[in-house]
Amino acid sequence: MSAVPADFEICGTGAEKRSADDLGKWVRRGVGSQAQKEREAGGDMSRSSGDRRAKRKLESLREQLKQVQQRLAGAKRQMDDPREVAELERKQAAIEAEIAHWKEQE
């Protein structure tokens, strides 16, 4: 078997690794990968994943807020249980506070 160049690695596992030289299954390490993007950017890519997480969380919170607001409007129109209105108002305030918190992090 010939030696694997420094910037290449053998792909696969088990038997594939043992026969990689014979089959020519070498892949360049880091090409098109997260590692290469980090090297080209000159920093770590963790921020972009954090941004995606924050965006998904904000979308989820906005959907929750919309649902709570709709339920609150219905509860105010039909005042069967005044405690329900107070509970929904608390939920709305909590969701709005969490949205503000996530917006600060962006």
pLDDT one-digit tens code per residue, 74-99: 999 998 888 999 999 999 999 999 99
Contact 88, 72 (CB under 8 A): yes
**Do both 69 and 101 map to the same domain?**
yes
Contact 27, 40 (CB under 8 A): no
Predicted TM-score (pTM) of the model is 0.54
pLDDT band for 106, please (50, 70, 90 cuts).
confident
Contact 34, 45 (CB under 8 A): yes
**Do both 15 and 35 map to the same domain?**
yes
Q: What pLDDT does residue 104 have?
A: 87
User: Is pLDDT of 6 > 80?
Assistant: no
**Do both 56 and 100 map to the same domain?**
yes
Least confident segment among 2-6, 23-27, 63-67? 23-27
Residues sharing a CB contact under 8 Å with residue 62, sequence separation 6 or more, in sequence order: 99
For residue 13, the 8-state DSSP code is S
**Do both 37 and 58 map to the same domain?**
no
The distance between the two most distant Cα atoms of the chain, rounded to a whole number of Å, is 81
Report the domain count for the chain.
Answer: 2
**Do both 58 and 98 map to the same domain?**
yes
Mean per-residue pLDDT over the chain, rounded: 75
Percentages helix, strand, coil for the chain (3-state, rounded to 5) are 70, 5, 25
User: Is 2 contained in some domain?
Assistant: no
Distance CA 53, CA 51 (A): 5
